[in-house]
Structure 1
Amino acid sequence: MRVLHVVTLHTPSNDFGGPTRVALNLSKGLRRRGVDARIATLGDKFVGPLPSEVEGVPSFVHQARHVLPAFEVSGITSPGLLARARRMVRGADVVHVHLMRDLITLPFALIARELGTPLVVQTHGMIDPTEKLFAKAVDVLGMKRVLRGADAILHLTAMERDGVQAVVPGTPLGSFRRLVNGVQVQEPRPPRGDRPPTVVYCARVQKRKRPEDFVRAMPTVLARHPDARFVLAGPDTGGLTGPMRRLAAELGVAGALECPGPLGHAEVLALLRGADVYVLPSVVEPFAVSVLEAMSVGLPVVVARTGGLSPDVAAAGAGRVTDSLPDADNGPLVGQAVLELLEPDANEQASRAARQLVHDRFSIDAVVDTLLGVYGEVMARTHPRPAAVHGS
Structure 2
Amino acid sequence: MRIAHIVAYLSERGEYGGPLSVATAQAAALAQRGNRVDLYTGWDGKAEARVPGVGVYARRAYRLGRSKSFATLFSPSLMACLIRSLHKYDVVHLHLSRDLLTFPAAILCRIMGKRVVIQTHGMVKPDKRILSRLSDIPMKAIFRNAAAHLYLTDAEADNLRELSPRQHNLMRVPNGLAERSEQAVWPQDDHPEVLYCGRIHPRKRVPEFVAMAERLLSGYVKARFTIVGPDGGDLENVRNQIAASPYRNAISYEGAVAPGSVASRLRKAQVCVLPSENEPFPMAVLEAMSVGLPVVVTESNGLASSLRKADPAFVTGHSAEELSLSVQEILSSADRWALAAMRSRDAVRRDFNIRAVCDLLETIYAEANL
Q: Which residue of 1 aligns with 2:94?
A: 97
Q: Which residue of 2 aligns with 1:332?
A: 321
**Residue 12 of structure 2 contacts residue 259 of structure 2 at CA under 8 Å; is this kept in 1?**
no
Distance 1:55 1:209, change over 3 A: farther
2:299 to 305, 321, 331: 305
SS at match of 1:185: coil
SS at match of 1:24: helix
Q: Can you give the 5+ residue segments of structure 2 that lack an aligned partner in the other structure? A: none
Aligned-partner residue type, residue 14 of structure 2: N
What is the Cα deviation at residue 370 of structure 1? 1.4
Q: Which residue of 2 aligns with 1:356?
A: 346
Q: Which residue of 2 aligns with 1:139?
A: 136
Distance 1:71 1:247, change over 3 A: closer
User: Which whole-Å CA distance do the structure 2 matches of 1:92 and 1:209 have between them?
Assistant: 38
2:112 to 110, 115, 132: 115
What is the Cα deviation at residue 190 of structure 1? 2.2
Distance 1:132 1:252, change over 3 A: farther
Write out aligned runs for 1:224-373 (5 A).
224-238=219-233, 240-265=234-259, 267-317=261-311, 319-324=313-318, 330-344=319-333, 345-373=335-363
**Residue 155 of structure 1 contacts residue 178 of structure 1 at CA under 8 Å; is this kept in 2?**
yes
TM-score w.r.t. the length of structure 2 is 0.93
What is the Cα deviation at residue 18 of structure 1? 0.8
Aligned-partner residue type, residue 241 of structure 2: L
Distance 1:250 1:156, change over 3 A: same
What is the Cα deviation at residue 126 of structure 1? 0.6
User: Which whole-Å CA distance do the structure 2 matches of 1:297 and 1:76 have between them?
Assistant: 32
What is the Cα deviation at residue 249 of structure 1? 2.9
What is the Cα deviation at residue 175 of structure 1? 0.7
What is the Cα deviation at residue 129 of structure 1? 1.0
Distance 1:9 1:156, change over 3 A: same
What is the Cα deviation at residue 53 of structure 1? 4.0
**Residue 209 of structure 1 contacts residue 282 of structure 1 at CA under 8 Å; is this kept in 2?**
yes
**Residue 68 of structure 1 contacts residue 76 of structure 1 at CA under 8 Å; is this kept in 2?**
no
User: Which whole-Å CA distance do the structure 1 matches of 2:130 and 2:68 have between them?
Assistant: 12
Q: Which residue of 2 aligns with 1:7?
A: 7
**Residue 45 of structure 2 contacts residue 60 of structure 2 at CA under 8 Å; is this kept in 1?**
no
Q: Percent identity?
A: 34
**Residue 198 of structure 1 contacts residue 230 of structure 1 at CA under 8 Å; is this kept in 2?**
yes
**Residue 19 of structure 2 contacts residue 95 of structure 2 at CA under 8 Å; is this kept in 1?**
yes
SS at match of 2:302: coil
| Corresponding position: 1:191 with 2:186 | yes
User: Which whole-Å CA distance do the structure 2 matches of 1:320 and 1:283 have between them?
Assistant: 15
User: Which whole-Å CA distance do the structure 1 matches of 2:247 and 2:77 have between them?
Assistant: 49
Distance 1:225 1:154, change over 3 A: farther
Q: Can you give the 5+ residue segments of structure 1 that lack an aligned partner in the other structure? A: 325-329, 381-392
Distance 1:2 1:123, change over 3 A: same
User: Which whole-Å CA distance do the structure 2 matches of 1:38 and 1:243 have between them?
Assistant: 40
Q: Which residue of 2 aligns with 1:383?
A: none
2:199 to 201, 204, 220: 204
Aligned-partner residue type, residue 159 of structure 2: G
**Residue 319 of structure 1 contacts residue 354 of structure 1 at CA under 8 Å; is this kept in 2?**
no
**Residue 69 of structure 1 contacts residue 75 of structure 1 at CA under 8 Å; is this kept in 2?**
no
Distance 1:231 1:256, change over 3 A: same
TM-score w.r.t. the length of structure 1 is 0.88
What is the total number of aligned residue pairs between the two structures?
368
2:67 to 57, 70, 73: 70
Q: CA RMSD in A?
A: 1.9
